[in-house]
């Protein structure tokens, strides 16, 4: 959705190692924002984005207008069931329908062989992979690792909304994930014990208002109360720091 940072650029660099032509689409998608969300405030700087993309050697930049994607009488949507009712889908009920619809449209416009998404939006990437499988798109979805600042904060376009104090307080998200990793690696398998300790870290700063702290199966995002050896899980956090909603996650094998 633009306002590019090193996380986005890492997807481009990955693409250029695997394909002949790299195409970037920039589109702030209105259908994935609820009426009370930050569509109008979402950060934009298309001129800076163009410079960064030229420096990365991107072959094509696709910047459609909203009217090119959605006609005035648009009425067709793509919906992935079950997984979209959990976590982000519970807190943002219309979000994933907007995501899958616009990604399906962009796929039909561009017809890529591979599509690169970031793990920071882990549930979104899993939903898109499900859509690609179910609708038999001839596309391989490649999920790339989270890119972080040196102090651990996951890169996000919304980080620009954090003031200096909130920026420091936002580190409780990555700190809680590091704690979860240490606990799981030490042999603790009870999700409630792990997430309770994570919650203590996140609530240690006054500006935090967590939406959820969960451990889920990586394939379908169902909650798991007792972790099983050898299985892969996402440890997930969604939390407001002040008025800015941030998400972060860790993919780990128990």
| 232-241 and 244-253 beta bridge pairing | antiparallel
CA-wise closest residue to 96 among 124, 136, 130: 124
Residue spans of alpha helices (H) in 37-170? 46-55, 66-69, 88-91, 95-110, 122-134, 164-169
Q: CA-to-CA distance for 41 and 12, rounded, in angstroms?
A: 26
The residue annotated as part of the active site, out of 2, 4, 8, 141, is: 8
User: Which token pair is 119?
Assistant: 């793990």
For 150, counting Cβ atoms within 10 Å of its Cβ (0-12 exposed, 13-18 middle, 19+ buried), the class is exposed
Number of H helices, E strands in the chain: 9, 7
Instruction: Report the greatest alpha carbon distance in the chain.
Output: 56
What radius of gyration do the chain's Cα atoms show?
Answer: 18
95 in active site = no
Q: CA-to-CA distance for 48 and 70, rounded, in angstroms?
A: 26
248 has which bridge partners? 237
Name the residues annotated as catalytic: 8
């Amino acid at each position: 959705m633009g306002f590019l940072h090193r996380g986005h650029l890492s997807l481009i660099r990955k693409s250029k190692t695997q394909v002949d032509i790299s195409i970037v689409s920039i589109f702030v998608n209105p259908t994935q924002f609820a009426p009370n969300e930050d569509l109008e405030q979402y950060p934009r700087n298309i001129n800076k984005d163009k410079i960064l993309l030229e420096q990365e050697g991107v072959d094509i930049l696709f910047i459609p207008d909203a009217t090119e994607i959605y006609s005035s009488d648009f009425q067709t949507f793509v919906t992935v069931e079950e997984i979209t009712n959990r976590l982000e889908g519970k807190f943002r009920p219309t979000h994933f329908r907007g995501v899958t619809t616009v990604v399906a449209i962009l796929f039909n416009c561009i017809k890529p062989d591979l599509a690169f998404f970031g793990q920071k939006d882990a549930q979104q990437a899993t939903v898109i992979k499900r859509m690609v499988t179910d609708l038999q798109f001839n596309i391989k979805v490649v999920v790339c690792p989270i890119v972080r600042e040196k102090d651990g904060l996951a890169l996000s376009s919304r980080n620009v909304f954090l003031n200096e104090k909130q920026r420091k307080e936002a580190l409780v998200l990555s700190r809680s994930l590091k704690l979860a990793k240490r606990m799981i690696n030490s042999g603790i398998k009870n999700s409630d014990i792990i997430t309770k300790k994570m919650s203590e870290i996140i609530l240690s700063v006054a500006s935090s208002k967590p939406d959820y702290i969960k451990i889920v199966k990586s394939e379908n995002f169902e909650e798991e109360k007792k972790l099983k050896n050898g299985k892969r899980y996402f440890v997930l956090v969604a939390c407001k720091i002040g008025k800015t909603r941030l998400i972060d996650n860790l993919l780990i094998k128990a």
